[in-house]
With several copies, the nearest count.
Chain A
Amino acid sequence: MKLIIAAIKPFKLEEVREALTSIGVRGMMVTEIKGFGSQSGHTEIYRGAEYAVNFVPKVKLEIVVSDSLCDQVVDTIRKTAKTDKIGDGKIFVLDVDQAVRVRTGETNDDAL
C-alpha cells in the first residue's frame, strides 16, 4: 500500500475529491495547512506595522491506497488540481506497511 500526500489549492478540494471518488478512492484525510514554496505570500499593514506572511493557505490530502491504484491516484490529482499557475502543489508517495480498519479489524487492502 502507498500513502499519497498532496498539497493543493483549497478551492480545488471538491473537484479533486470527486475525481478521486470516481476512480475508486474510498477514503482520505484532509488538513488545512500553511504552504511554503515558490508561490509568495502577501503583506498586511496594520497602522504602521507591516507583516509579511510567507505562507499560503493550502489543503493537504493524505490517501492510503493499494499499490495498484497508486499511479492512477497520482495522475488524477495532478490533472485535476492543475491550474497552470504557480502554487498548484506537490504530490508525494510513501510506502505503507500496514493498514487496519478500527471498526472491523480488517487489515491492509481490505481496510482501505
Chain B
Amino acid sequence: MADIKKTLGLAAAAAMLALPAFADTAPKMDSGDTAWMMTSSLLVLFMTLPGLALFYGGLVRTKNMLSVLMQCTLITGLVMVIWVLWGYSMAFGGGTSPYWGGLGKAFLAGVTPASLSGTIPEYVFVVFQMTFAVITPALIIGSIVERIKFSSLLVFIALWVTLVYFPIAHMVWDGSGLFFKMGAMDFAGGTVVHINAGIAGFVGCLVLGKRTGFGRDNMAPHSMTLTMVGASILWVGWFGFNAGSALASNGTAALAMINTFVATAAAILSWSAIEGMARGKASMLGAASGMVAGLVAITPACGFIGPMGAVVLGLIVSPICYFFVTTVKGKFGYDDSLDVFGVHCVGGITGALLTGIFAASSLGGVGYGKGVTMGSQEMVQLEAVLTTLIWSGVVSFILYKLVGAVMGLRVTEEEEREGLDLTSHGEMAYHS
C-alpha cells in the first residue's frame, strides 16, 4: 500500500491500457468489479440528473428554474455524444503525448463487448469516464445562470470539453499524461473536475457580468427543499464518483467510500458551526454547502488518506469555503451566482493540497511513492493545481470571448427580467 503506483486507482487501470507489455498477465473480467463499476457509472449520472440540476435549480428564482434544468440536461446529451465520437479517444485513446490521447479510438474504434480495461469491460470504463466528462461542464453553469444565452452555452460547452476537459483528463488519469507522470495524487478528479470547472465558471461570471438587479432584487433560492434534495443526491452519487474511481470492488474502494462519508459529515458540521457562531443560526443552505464542500475536498484524497485524516480535512474545508462565498465574494462583488468558484474551485484546491499532506502514513494515509517526501509531493500537487488553473482559465476566457463575439453570451435585460423559462424555452416550471 505504500507504493503509490498501486494506489493510484483510476490512473492505475488507465496505465494498464497504455502498457501492452503487461498484456499476458492482464487480469480477467471480474463480475463483482463490473457490478460495482456499472453501479458507479449510473450513480455519477444520477449526480448530474437530477442531482446537480436540482441543487442548482433550487437556488435560482422560479422564473429561471427550467433554464437550469435544461442546461444540465442538454449538456448531458451533448457531451455524451461528443464523448463517444472523439472525447474518449482524446482522453484515453492510447496516444503517448502527455497532453492528449490522440484519435485512435475516435468513434470507439476497436472497442467491443469483449474488450477489457483492467478487470472490467472497456465499455464500462468508457461510460464511467463519460459521466465525469458530463458533470464537469455542468458544474460551470452555476456561475452564469439566469443570464446566459442557451444556444451560446451549448456551443461554448462543446468547445470547452474538447479543448479543456479532455486534455486535462488525459493529463491526470492516463498513464502517459503530464500530471500522472509527475506523480500528482488525485484519486477521483479534484483537479480535472472541480478546480477545472470552478475556474471556468469564475472566468465566465467575470466575462458575463452580474445579473440584472444583483444586490438589489431579492434573489433568494426558489426552493431550498430542492436544493437539499439535490445536495443529498450528489452525496449518494458521489460514492460512484469516488469509490468508483478505484475501478474495482475492493479495499481501496472501501477506503474511498468511508472517507467520502466522514469528510462530508465533518464538513457539514463545521459549516453549520461557523454559521452558528457568525450569525447565531445554522441554515439549510449552509449545511448543504458544507456537504458539497466536503465532497469536493475529499475527492482527490479519498483513496490516499485515512478516515481520521478525512474527518480533519472535512472540518478544515468548510470555513475556508465559507470565507470565500461570504467575505471574499462580497468584497470583490463578482456575481458567481451559485458559488462555483467559492465551493468547487476553492474546495478543490484545498483538497488537492491537503491530499499531499494527509497521505503521509504518519497521518494515517497510504504513504508516498519511493523517494517522495511530503514537501516534494506538495510541490507536485501545487504544480498540478496551477497548471489546471491556468490552462482552464485562459482557454475558457478565450472561448467565452469567441462565442460572445460570434453569437452573444447574454440574453436581453427584458428577457432576463421576464425569466429565461418563458423567453428561452417557452414554458413555465409551475402551474396550479
Contact = CB atoms under 8 A, between A and B. Distances in A.
Interface in B197-256: 213, 216-221
B422 A42 contact: yes
A14 B215 CA distance: 13
Interface string A42-61: 11111111010100000000
Interface in A30-83: 32, 42-49, 51, 53
Given A11-B417, A14-B216, A51-B218, A45 B339 contact: no
A46 B216 contact: no
Given A11-B217, A49-B219, A44 B289 contact: no
Interface string B181-192: 000000000000
Contacts of A46: 220-221, 283, 285, 427
A45 B427 contact: yes
Interface in B288-320: 289
Interface in A85-110: none
B313 to A, nearest CB: 21
Interface residues of B, number: 25
A47 B326 contact: yes
B32 interface: no
A14, A45, A47: residue with the most chain B Cβ atoms closer than 10 Å: A47
B330 A44 contact: no
Contacts of B286: 47
A46 B216 CA distance: 14
A32 B62 CA distance: 15
A89 B266 CA distance: 46
Contacts of A14: 216-217
A43 B219 CA distance: 13
Interface string A9-44: 001001000000000000000001000000000111
B329 interface: yes
A11 B63 CA distance: 13
Nearest to B418: A42
B66 to A, nearest CB: 11
B108 to A, nearest CB: 33
Interface residues of A, number: 13
Given A11-B213, A51-B218, A51-B220, A45 B289 contact: no
A45 B426 contact: yes
Nearest to B417: A11
Most buried by A among B218, B325, B427: B218
Contacts of A44: 220, 422, 426-428
Contact of A47 (B289, B428, B432): B289
A48 B330 contact: yes
A48 B325 contact: yes
B339 A53 contact: no
B115 to A, nearest CB: 40
A45 B283 contact: yes
Contacts of B370: none
Contacts of A51: 218-220
A47 B339 contact: yes
A42 B423 CA distance: 10
A13 to B, nearest CB: 10
B275 to A, nearest CB: 9
Nearest to A43: B426
A30 to B, nearest CB: 13
A82 to B, nearest CB: 16
A51 B221 CA distance: 11
B258 to A, nearest CB: 29
Nearest to B326: A48
Contacts of B217: 11, 14
Interface in B325-355: 325-327, 329-330, 339, 342
B418 to A, nearest CB: 8
B301 to A, nearest CB: 25
A46 B431 CA distance: 12
Nearest to B286: A47
Given A45-B426, A51-B220, 10 more contacts: A11-B217, A14-B217, A44-B220, A44-B428, A46-B283, A46-B285, A47-B289, A47-B326, A48-B325, A48-B326
Q: Which 10 A-B pairs have the closest CB atoms?
A: A48-B326, A47-B325, A51-B218, A48-B330, A44-B427, A48-B329, A46-B285, A51-B220, A48-B325, A45-B426
Interface of A: 11, 14, 32, 42-49, 51, 53
15 contacts: A11-B217, A11-B417, A14-B216, A14-B217, A44-B220, A44-B427, A46-B285, A46-B427, A47-B289, A47-B325, A48-B327, A48-B330, A49-B219, A49-B220, A53-B218
